[in-house]
Amino acid sequence: MLEFGCGMGRLFPTFVDGATEIVGVDISDELLLKGKQYFEKNSVDNTDIQFVNGNMCSFANNKKYDLIVFALSVLKHLANDTERMQALKTAKEHLSEDGLIVIDHTALLYADGPVDWTPASQSLVASWVAEPEILQGYQWRKTLDGATDILEWRYQDTQQKTLFEVKFTTYRYDIEALTQHLEELGLYHELMLTEWGVNGLSDKGKRFIGIAGFPGNGRSPRERLLEKVKRRGEKLWSNHEIATEEMLQVS
């Protein structure tokens, strides 16, 4: 498998059971180094893991992969449609004939509109982490500047003194544009789910969790995936606005 924007290879342990080769491509030397160090200490049998410094818009190694992954909305890091098309085309060029491209994507970070400073413990991220108490003191807010989506995080002590601040900028990439780009590249695509909650699938999704591939590829893992999701009872909402108190309290 090949992952674009793999960061430190957070998802690789998920793939080691089935993959003989995992190639992670990222532009951050710092994250790649962390990933390499992790897998040096925690070596994996039967899977060759490689971290490669490269840009998802231009990467080329002349190999084909059965699974290509764009996870955690990495496509939002690309500033315009030209770069997005290049990244999807790069994926197509490395896809085996019956392989699948898996894309996990939302148009905007955390919320559709601006949100003022919000305690992290009261937002949807609280349901993503195993120990929500680590979020104590952390807050986030977001602003939108045209298609630029700006997210800030800060940590405040009990006297409200800010001890840590960080700012991320990503770019709005609508799901309609993403699916249109896949079509322009001659790829079929299938939406597997948008959102899910502990009580099953929700229709409030603002997320594209789907697959793409060459037309005629009938290897859709849709049913298996939905079964797994229901069994695990996971909570995932892509939008702070739709993560109501009631939803967050369900455990």
Ligand X SMILES: C[S@@+](CC[C@H](N)C(=O)[O-])C[C@H]1O[C@@H](n2cnc3c(N)ncnc32)[C@H](O)[C@@H]1O
**Which parts of this chain interact with ligand X (CB under 6 A)?**
4-7, 10-11, 25-28, 31, 55-57, 71-72, 74, 77
Q: Which is nearer to ligand X, 80 or 244 (CB)?
A: 80
Closest residue to ligand X: CB criterion: 5
Q: Which long-range contacts (CB under 8 A, 24 or more apart) does 149-153 make?
A: 149/76, 149/108, 149/109, 151/109, 151/110, 153/120
Minimum gap (Å) between residue 177 Cβ and ligand X: 17
* 69 versus 217: smaller Cβ distance to ligand X: 69
Minimum distance of ligand X from residue 51's CB (angstroms): 11
Of 83 and 241, the one with the shorter C-beta distance to ligand X is: 83
Cα separations (Å) of 7 from 24, 44, 107? Answer: 8, 18, 20
- Helix 81-93, helix 175-184: angle, nearest 10: 50
Tell me 121's DSSP state: G
The nearest distance, CB 216 to ligand X, in angstroms, is 28
By the 8 A CB rule, do 189 and 212 touch?
Answer: yes
Residue closer to ligand X, measured from CB, 72 or 226: 72
| Cβ-based burial of 29 (10 A; exposed 0-12, middle 13-18, buried ≥19) | exposed
CB of 244 to ligand X, least distance (A): 25
How many whole angstroms separate alpha carbon 158 and alpha carbon 172?
35
* Shortest distance (Å) from residue 126 CB to ligand X: 19
DSSP letter assigned to residue 148: E
Cβ nearer to ligand X, comparing 173 with 217 = 173
**What is the distance in angstroms between the CA of the first residue and the CA of the last residue of the chain?**
33
Smallest separation, CB 157 to ligand X (Å): 27
Query: Which CB atom, from 8 or from 217, has the smaller least distance to ligand X?
Result: 8
Neighbours of 226 (CB within 10 A): 15
Report the relative pairing of strands 21-26 and 48-53 from DSSP bridges.
Answer: parallel
